[in-house]
Amino acid sequence: MPVYALGDRVPAIHPEAFVHPDAVVIGDVRIGADSSVWPGAVLRGDYGTIVVGERTSIQDGAVVHAIEDYPTVIGSDCVVGHLAHLEGCVVHDRSLIGSGSIVLHEVVVESGATVAAGAVVRNRTHVPANALVVGVPGQIRPDMSSEASIVDNAALYVGNARRYREQLKRLVD
Give CA angle at 106 (99, 69), nearest 5°: 120
The answer, yes or no, to whether residue 1 has pLDDT greater than 80, is no
pLDDT tens for 92-128 read 999 999 999 999 999 999 999 999 999 999 999 999 9
Between the two ends of the chain, the Cα-to-Cα distance in Å is 13
Helix (H), strand (E) at residue 26:
strand 24-31
Does the pTM surpass 0.85? The reply is: yes
pLDDT at 173 (0 to 100)? 80
What's the pLDDT tens digit per position in 40-84?
A: 999 999 999 999 999 999 999 999 999 999 999 999 999 999 999
CATH of 3-167, one of 3.30.70.100, 2.160.10.10, 2.40.240.20, 3.50.50.60: 2.160.10.10
pLDDT tens digit sequence for 130-172: 999 999 999 999 999 999 999 999 999 999 999 999 999 999 9
- Give the model confidence (pLDDT) of 152-162 as tens digits: 999 999 999 99
Q: Count Cβ neighbours within 10 Å for each residue of 55-85 and write b for 16 or more, e otherwise.
A: bbbbbbbbbbbbeeebbbbbbbbbbbbbbbb
